[in-house]
Amino acid sequence: MRPDPLGQEVRQERRAREKYGPPIQRATARPGWARSLYGRLDAAFNHAGASAVESFHEYTEEAYDHLLDVNLKGVFLAMLAEIKATLADGGAIVNTSSVGSLIGNHGLAPYIAASMV
């Protein structure tokens, strides 16, 4: 039987959700965790990237909402949690996005639009 890395990744994510909550909730809890462990937050790095490769006319509103929740709202909520700690501790926040925002790619229109913000 061949290894199933994707299946393993899905199982790990499911266990993490059961223990810590959904990914956005975990991301917003990390600055407090870092400060409690190390006494300060020197830096935070955000790069969210959910996408689905589909022709635009086949994209569903549900898939679009998920993409925006992860790529835009997830980074926004993480930054809200991080900004308090970085302002208090003199740290920095770095946000990056996909190079896809500079170059069009078939089947990725919503992803590219979200990367341009």
Active-site hit among 20, 59, 64, 111: 111
For residues 113 and 37, what is the distance between their CA atoms, to the nearest angstrom?
37
- Which helix or strand (DSSP H or E) is residue 78 part of? helix 75-89
59 annotated active-site: no
Residues serving a catalytic function are: 111
